[in-house]
Chains A and B, each alone.
Chain A
Protein backbone atom coordinates (compact mmCIF):
# COMPACT_ATOMS: atom_id res chain seq x y z
CA UNK A 1 0.00 0.00 0.00
CA UNK A 2 1.17 3.47 -0.79
CA UNK A 3 2.18 5.58 2.18
CA UNK A 4 4.03 8.64 3.36
CA UNK A 5 7.00 8.81 5.70
CA UNK A 6 7.67 11.86 7.81
CA UNK A 7 11.25 12.15 8.98
CA UNK A 8 11.54 13.23 12.58
CA UNK A 9 8.76 13.04 15.13
CA UNK A 10 9.91 16.39 16.54
CA UNK A 11 11.59 19.37 14.89
CA UNK A 12 12.82 22.33 16.95
CA UNK A 13 13.55 25.76 15.49
CA UNK A 14 14.10 29.24 16.83
CA UNK A 15 11.66 32.00 16.05
CA UNK A 16 12.64 33.56 12.72
CA UNK A 17 14.51 30.47 11.51
CA UNK A 18 13.70 28.37 8.46
CA UNK A 19 11.15 25.61 8.96
CA UNK A 20 11.70 22.37 7.02
CA UNK A 21 9.43 19.39 7.61
CA UNK A 22 10.18 16.32 5.53
CA UNK A 23 7.75 14.00 3.79
CA UNK A 24 8.51 11.19 1.35
CA UNK A 25 5.88 9.16 -0.45
CA UNK A 26 6.11 5.63 -1.77
CA UNK A 27 4.63 5.53 -5.22
CA UNK A 28 5.72 5.05 -8.80
CA UNK A 29 2.78 7.13 -9.95
CA UNK A 30 2.49 10.65 -8.50
CA UNK A 31 -0.34 10.65 -5.99
CA UNK A 32 -2.31 13.51 -4.52
CA UNK A 33 -0.41 14.95 -1.56
CA UNK A 34 -1.51 17.18 1.29
CA UNK A 35 -0.12 18.90 4.36
CA UNK A 36 -2.37 19.43 7.37
CA UNK A 37 -1.68 21.23 10.66
CA UNK A 38 -3.26 20.39 14.00
CA UNK A 39 -3.14 22.73 16.97
CA UNK A 40 -3.67 21.25 20.44
CA UNK A 41 -7.21 19.97 21.02
CA UNK A 42 -8.35 21.04 17.57
CA UNK A 43 -9.19 19.44 14.26
CA UNK A 44 -6.94 19.35 11.23
CA UNK A 45 -6.54 22.38 8.99
CA UNK A 46 -5.43 22.08 5.39
CA UNK A 47 -2.19 23.96 4.69
CA UNK A 48 -1.76 23.05 1.02
CA UNK A 49 -2.22 20.30 -1.56
CA UNK A 50 -0.45 18.96 -4.64
CA UNK A 51 -2.57 17.73 -7.52
CA UNK A 52 -0.04 17.88 -10.39
CA UNK A 53 -0.90 21.40 -11.56
CA UNK A 54 2.38 22.89 -10.28
CA UNK A 55 5.37 21.42 -8.47
CA UNK A 56 5.76 24.38 -6.10
CA UNK A 57 2.63 24.75 -4.05
CA UNK A 58 1.91 27.76 -1.88
CA UNK A 59 -0.34 27.38 1.11
CA UNK A 60 -1.70 29.37 3.99
CA UNK A 61 0.29 31.06 6.76
CA UNK A 62 3.38 31.45 4.56
CA UNK A 63 3.99 27.74 4.07
CA UNK A 64 4.92 26.14 0.77
CA UNK A 65 5.92 22.70 -0.45
CA UNK A 66 7.78 21.44 -3.47
CA UNK A 67 6.91 18.21 -5.21
CA UNK A 68 10.06 16.41 -6.41
CA UNK A 69 9.26 13.29 -8.37
CA UNK A 70 12.93 12.23 -8.64
CA UNK A 71 13.21 12.21 -4.86
CA UNK A 72 9.58 11.14 -4.16
CA UNK A 73 9.44 14.02 -1.70
CA UNK A 74 6.99 16.74 -0.74
CA UNK A 75 8.78 18.72 1.97
CA UNK A 76 7.06 21.60 3.75
CA UNK A 77 8.95 24.86 4.28
CA UNK A 78 8.45 28.31 5.75
CA UNK A 79 11.17 30.98 5.53
CA UNK A 80 10.69 32.37 9.03
CA UNK A 81 9.11 30.51 11.93
CA UNK A 82 6.65 32.20 14.24
CA UNK A 83 5.70 31.11 17.73
CA UNK A 84 2.16 30.49 16.48
CA UNK A 85 3.48 27.83 14.06
CA UNK A 86 4.07 25.42 16.95
CA UNK A 87 1.75 22.50 16.23
CA UNK A 88 1.59 18.96 14.85
CA UNK A 89 2.00 18.68 11.09
CA UNK A 90 0.73 15.74 9.06
CA UNK A 91 1.67 14.83 5.52
CA UNK A 92 -1.04 12.80 3.79
CA UNK A 93 -1.53 11.02 0.49
CA UNK A 94 -4.39 9.82 -1.64
CA UNK A 95 -2.78 7.12 -3.76
CA UNK A 96 -3.68 6.87 -7.42
CA UNK A 97 -6.86 4.86 -7.88
CA UNK A 98 -7.99 5.45 -4.32
CA UNK A 99 -10.12 8.09 -2.67
CA UNK A 100 -9.14 7.95 1.00
CA UNK A 101 -6.37 9.76 2.85
CA UNK A 102 -3.40 7.96 4.37
CA UNK A 103 -1.56 10.03 6.96
CA UNK A 104 2.06 10.06 7.96
CA UNK A 105 2.88 9.70 11.65
CA UNK A 106 3.16 13.44 12.12
CA UNK A 107 5.90 15.88 13.08
CA UNK A 108 5.63 18.12 16.11
CA UNK A 109 7.11 21.55 15.39
CA UNK A 110 8.51 23.30 18.44
CA UNK A 111 9.37 27.01 18.17
CA UNK A 112 11.55 28.66 20.80
CA UNK A 113 11.94 32.41 21.37
Chain B
Protein backbone atom coordinates (compact mmCIF):
# COMPACT_ATOMS: atom_id res chain seq x y z
CA UNK B 1 0.00 0.00 0.00
CA UNK B 2 1.57 3.28 -1.13
CA UNK B 3 -1.30 5.55 -0.20
CA UNK B 4 -1.15 8.90 1.50
CA UNK B 5 -4.57 10.26 2.43
CA UNK B 6 -5.50 13.88 3.00
CA UNK B 7 -8.62 15.47 4.42
CA UNK B 8 -10.53 17.51 3.55
CA UNK B 9 -10.34 17.53 -0.24
CA UNK B 10 -11.64 21.08 -0.40
CA UNK B 11 -11.69 23.82 2.22
CA UNK B 12 -13.06 27.34 2.07
CA UNK B 13 -12.24 29.56 5.02
CA UNK B 14 -12.42 33.18 5.98
CA UNK B 15 -9.41 35.17 7.06
CA UNK B 16 -10.40 34.98 10.72
CA UNK B 17 -11.08 31.25 10.80
CA UNK B 18 -9.01 28.48 12.32
CA UNK B 19 -8.91 25.20 10.45
CA UNK B 20 -6.68 22.15 10.15
CA UNK B 21 -5.52 19.95 7.29
CA UNK B 22 -4.84 16.30 8.01
CA UNK B 23 -2.53 13.78 6.38
CA UNK B 24 -2.11 10.08 7.13
CA UNK B 25 0.15 7.30 5.89
CA UNK B 26 0.51 3.67 6.95
CA UNK B 27 3.64 2.75 5.05
CA UNK B 28 5.91 3.02 8.08
CA UNK B 29 7.60 6.07 6.59
CA UNK B 30 9.56 8.21 9.03
CA UNK B 31 9.67 11.44 7.04
CA UNK B 32 6.60 13.54 6.23
CA UNK B 33 6.33 16.75 4.26
CA UNK B 34 3.98 19.64 3.58
CA UNK B 35 4.09 21.40 0.22
CA UNK B 36 2.18 24.36 -1.17
CA UNK B 37 1.37 24.42 -4.88
CA UNK B 38 0.00 27.41 -6.74
CA UNK B 39 -1.66 27.00 -10.12
CA UNK B 40 0.72 26.08 -12.96
CA UNK B 41 3.71 26.03 -10.57
CA UNK B 42 5.75 23.22 -9.03
CA UNK B 43 5.22 22.29 -5.37
CA UNK B 44 7.11 24.41 -2.84
CA UNK B 45 8.39 22.75 0.30
CA UNK B 46 7.00 24.16 3.55
CA UNK B 47 7.90 21.75 6.35
CA UNK B 48 9.69 18.45 6.89
CA UNK B 49 9.22 16.13 9.85
CA UNK B 50 11.77 13.41 10.43
CA UNK B 51 11.06 10.82 13.13
CA UNK B 52 8.22 13.05 14.36
CA UNK B 53 10.49 16.06 14.87
CA UNK B 54 10.38 19.20 12.77
CA UNK B 55 13.62 19.19 10.81
CA UNK B 56 12.99 21.79 8.12
CA UNK B 57 10.88 24.95 8.14
CA UNK B 58 11.28 26.82 4.89
CA UNK B 59 10.63 30.26 6.45
CA UNK B 60 6.89 29.71 6.41
CA UNK B 61 4.72 32.41 8.06
CA UNK B 62 3.56 31.58 11.58
CA UNK B 63 -0.08 31.52 10.47
CA UNK B 64 0.82 27.99 9.29
CA UNK B 65 1.56 25.66 12.19
CA UNK B 66 2.54 22.03 11.58
CA UNK B 67 2.09 19.20 14.02
CA UNK B 68 3.12 15.54 13.94
CA UNK B 69 1.18 13.70 16.66
CA UNK B 70 2.67 10.32 15.73
CA UNK B 71 4.59 8.62 12.96
CA UNK B 72 1.49 8.14 10.80
CA UNK B 73 -0.18 11.52 11.12
CA UNK B 74 0.68 15.03 10.04
CA UNK B 75 -1.47 18.10 10.60
CA UNK B 76 -1.27 21.64 9.31
CA UNK B 77 -3.08 24.17 11.48
CA UNK B 78 -4.24 27.32 9.73
CA UNK B 79 -5.08 30.64 11.37
CA UNK B 80 -5.61 34.16 10.06
CA UNK B 81 -4.73 33.24 6.50
CA UNK B 82 -4.57 35.66 3.61
CA UNK B 83 -6.23 35.29 0.19
CA UNK B 84 -2.79 34.69 -1.35
CA UNK B 85 -2.55 31.52 0.75
CA UNK B 86 -5.17 29.94 -1.48
CA UNK B 87 -3.48 26.95 -3.11
CA UNK B 88 -3.29 23.16 -3.28
CA UNK B 89 -1.64 21.82 -0.14
CA UNK B 90 0.11 18.52 -0.64
CA UNK B 91 1.34 16.07 1.94
CA UNK B 92 4.04 13.51 1.18
CA UNK B 93 5.93 10.80 2.99
CA UNK B 94 9.11 8.81 2.45
CA UNK B 95 11.49 6.44 4.22
CA UNK B 96 13.59 9.48 4.93
CA UNK B 97 16.91 8.99 3.16
CA UNK B 98 17.86 11.01 0.06
CA UNK B 99 17.54 8.04 -2.30
CA UNK B 100 14.00 7.29 -1.27
CA UNK B 101 11.11 8.56 -3.29
CA UNK B 102 8.33 10.63 -1.81
CA UNK B 103 4.73 9.50 -2.06
CA UNK B 104 2.18 12.27 -2.37
CA UNK B 105 -1.39 12.53 -1.22
CA UNK B 106 -4.17 13.95 -3.42
CA UNK B 107 -3.99 17.35 -1.77
CA UNK B 108 -6.38 19.78 -0.13
CA UNK B 109 -7.63 22.62 -2.30
CA UNK B 110 -7.74 25.64 0.02
CA UNK B 111 -9.59 28.85 -0.79
CA UNK B 112 -9.25 31.82 1.57
CA UNK B 113 -12.02 34.41 1.25
Contacts and interface: CB of A to CB of B under 8 A. Distances in A.
A106 B107 contact: no
Contacts of B88: 41
A27 interface: no
Interface stretch (B12-20, B60-68, B74-82, B93-101): B93-101
B43 A99 contact: no
Nearest to A44: B104
Interface residues of B, number: 26
Contact of B90 (A32, A44, A97, A105): A44
A32 B98 contact: yes
A104 B99 contact: no
Given A42-B107, A43-B104, A43-B105, A94 B42 contact: no
Contact of B106 (A34, A42, A46): A42
Nearest to B103: A46
B101 A34 contact: yes
Main secondary structure of the interface of A (DSSP, over half): loop
Interface string A78-113: 000000000000100010111111011110000000
B48 interface: yes
A100 B42 contact: no
Residue among B45, B98, B103 facing the most chain A CB atoms (10 A cut-off):
B98
Nearest to A52: B99
Contacts of A106: 40-42
A36 B56 CA distance: 22
B29 to A, nearest CB: 13
A14 interface: no
B90 A98 contact: no
Contact of A104 (B40, B42, B56): B42
Contacts of B103: 46
A45 interface: yes
A104 B43 CA distance: 9
Nearest to B105: A43
